[in-house]
Amino acid sequence: MNTERHIASAFDRDLEAIQALVLKMGGLVEAAILDAAQALETRDDELAERIRAGDKAIDRLEELINSEAARLIALRAPAASDLRTVLTVMKIAASLERCGDYAKNLAKRSKVLAQMPVIPGTDASLRRMAKAVQLLLKDALDSYIHRDAVLAEDVRQRDAEVDQMYNTLFREFLTHMMEDPRNITACMHLHLIAKNIERMGDHATSIAEQVIYLVTGAMPDDSRPKGDDTSFVHPDGEA
């Protein structure tokens, strides 16, 4: 019995260390999202470059989380419920890594947009959308730490608000392009930025769904409202 308790406490300590890495990774991603929106709005090249360089730290954290999780499985041979927790951690890290990539994409395009005329109103709208996604991500991670399925479900439902923001921006971009063909190139870049932000919301939702599965043992059904009614872009929102 003492040996079993020792193994369990060792597993818990190792898992806590991995979860600390996940939270660190989440903090970096949240900051990258907000900084990318600011770099876009202010056309701040130096900030955009820091975001692009900082993505390497996010990638390294995912690699470390995966290696530590694999080591934990090999050393501790966790029971089914504990194994589910470890696998959830790895899936959360993968979603965070993708969000970091999208933030880097935003930073890359901000440099291009700095050479183009500003499309009135769009920068502020993108900033609001990015803030909404950052809050989704924060709440999704909080729901994991506290094993809060109610908060996780709230994240799932709120993603529809991000989708609606995207749809509104999409129509604004179309209007600007039809009114003046000189706006087409800038609006195409802005549209891809909006799509990247919308995809980050999807990844926050994926984290929330993993939390629901972790807490309840079942994935949520498909009743979540989905507000994205556009369909012609690349599925990753990239050029």
Structure tokens belonging to residue 212: 């629901």
Residues with Cβ within 8 Å of residue 180, at least 6 apart in sequence? none
Write out pLDDT tens, residues 36-60.
999 988 888 899 999 999 999 999 9
What confidence category does residue 223 fall into, taking pLDDT thresholds of 50, 70 and 90? low
Q: Taking a C-beta distance cutoff of 8 angstroms, is the pair 238, 105 a contact? A: yes
Write out pLDDT tens, residues 145-180.
999 999 999 999 999 999 999 999 999 999 999 999
Write out pLDDT tens, residues 166-219.
999 999 999 999 999 999 999 999 999 999 999 999 999 999 999 999 999 888
For residue 234, pLDDT beyond 70: no
CA distance 45 to 51: 10
> Given this model, what pLDDT does residue 179 score?
94
For residue 227, pLDDT beyond 90: no
> Given this model, what pLDDT does residue 77 score?
85
> Given this model, what pLDDT does residue 232 score?
44
> Given this model, what pLDDT does residue 28 score?
97
Q: What is the mean pLDDT of residues 67-75?
A: 93
Q: Which amino acid is at 108?
A: K
For residue 114, pLDDT beyond 90: no
Q: Taking a C-beta distance cutoff of 8 angstroms, is the pair 239, 105 a contact? A: no
Q: Taking a C-beta distance cutoff of 8 angstroms, is the pair 76, 14 a contact? A: yes
What confidence category does residue 1 fall into, taking pLDDT thresholds of 50, 70 and 90? very low
**Does 227 or 221 have the greater pLDDT score?**
221
Question: Which domains, ranges and CATH numbers included, belong to the chain?
Answer: 2-216 (1.20.58.220)
> Given this model, what pLDDT does residue 143 score?
97
> Given this model, what pLDDT does residue 230 score?
57
From the CA atom positions of the chain, what is the Rg in Å?
20
> Given this model, what pLDDT does residue 58 score?
97
H/E/C letters for each residue in the chain?
CHHHHHHHHHHHHHHHHHHHHHHHHHHHHHHHHHHHHHHHHHCCHHHHHHHHHHHHHHHHHHHHHHHHHHHHHHHHCCCHHHHHHHHHHHHHHHHHHHHHHHHHHHHHHHHHHCCCCCCCCHHHHHHHHHHHHHHHHHHHHHHHHCCCHHHHHHHHHHHHHHHHHHHHHHHHHHHHHHHCHHHHHHHHHHHHHHHHHHHHHHHHHHHHHHHHHHHHCCCCCCCCCCCCCCCCCCCCCCC
Quote the mean pLDDT of the chain.
89
> Given this model, what pLDDT does residue 228 score?
57
What confidence category does residue 112 fall into, taking pLDDT thresholds of 50, 70 and 90? confident
Query: In 188-226, which positions are buried (b, 16+ CB within 10 angstroms) versus exposed (e)?
Result: ebbbbbbbbbbbbbbbbbbbbbbbbbbbeeeebeeebee
